[in-house]
Chains A and B, each alone.
Chain A
Amino acid sequence: MLTADSIRRWCWIHKWTSLVCTLFLLMLCLTGLPLIFRDELSIWLGDAVEPPEHVTPRAAVDLDALVKDAQARRPHDAVKFLIRDDDYPMWFVSLGETPTAPENSALYMYDSRTGDFLKEFPVDHGLVHVLLTLHVDMFAGLPGTLFLGFMGLLFVISVVSGIVVYGPFMRKLPFGAVRRDRSPRLRWLDLHNLLGIATVVWVLVVGVTGVINTLDRPLLGYWQMTEVTDMLQPWKGKPKPAALRPVDDAVRAAEAAEPDMAVRFVAFPATPFAGPHHYMVFMRGQTPLTGRLLKPLLIDVETAQVSAAKDMPWYLTALLLSQPLHFGDYGEMPLKILWALFDLLAIVVLLSGLYLWWKKRDMAEFDLVQQEQLLADGSAS
């Protein structure tokens, strides 16, 4: 049983962690809502296309031809990644101003059955881009992302403290009671409690995985500086390769080495993940769970042989598993709709929390009244 002192402390934690993060969380919930349907939205807005349903497939699509086509569209840029779409028969080719540039300068979509160029996906404009950038870093780069991660951490503390104070607040009420016949403040308090406790696991999971996702760039950077650098060490200082084998050879070598896995994406030579002498082919499993995990294979650009293979470290596995649990993109459209409904309820919890604080700005006083009542009742029983 919580003492009056500890209830007061937890109320204080709930109030202040919530107050600091609420406006940012509202922004995240509002921008996150359309982003649940990001793929559909991109197609609807004309940023992306679905490949045609019926085509005459060619015997074998030359991936190297896609890469050459992409390169020809931006001759001064460097090809960074070749990425397979999870849902449609499509490949993406991403380019940067340099191979090590963190930002994409272009992203091209190709039909994987015919090799046809489909569309250029906008990388620096459009509604989806604005929503995503607001959601990820508020147009403030890595510091913005880390700041939002800290707000997410405060939010998680606020939710946990909310669970702790839920008990004492509900000692007089049946579960789910909404006192409509009382003051609006009590009605909103009841709604805040009901919606908050009923959605708490979803909110915590999306909150914690969101915080983990804010660390993606530091974690990838750390992996690159440690394990990838170790893997590339034997080739350090060697002369630049004379000729590159086509990416198709690298993909075939990776598929032969991991016959139960599929290519998710390929990092091109000179990008930070591949180094000058290799392709890095990232393979994924075939089930919903293992399909999210990656296994990187280093393929020599001159021989197209596997130079090294290493499982991802635990922190990148955690990052990769955090993505679906944050995005809600792993259970078809009904899961996305459920995700949106939970998100809307989270907005109501945030707004009602703000309202409760605003109506009784001196919440401490309100808490004390509650606690005195609780203590009086407690000693009587």
Chain B
Amino acid sequence: MKITQRALAGTVESSDCMVMLLPAEELSIEIDSIVKQQYGHVIEKLVRDMLKKFDVTAGLVKIQDQGALDCVIEARVETALRRAGKEAKA
């Protein structure tokens, strides 16, 4: 399924992350993080797993991370996906 509407979740406060979803023909993930060098690949895997859970195959996902824990990143991605009208696969 494609992202067909813009959605935003989270903040740029410390320990939080802001997630922006935008319509696009292909799936791509952009990560801007204060810990990208060490944890960029971990963040990308978390995001890809969430997108898979919600059956998202196309769209642009922008992550602005301020050192959020995994459970926070997952929460913000899920909130953005739900705001974009997506539901997790049963």
Task: State yes or no: do A and B come from one complex.
Answer: no
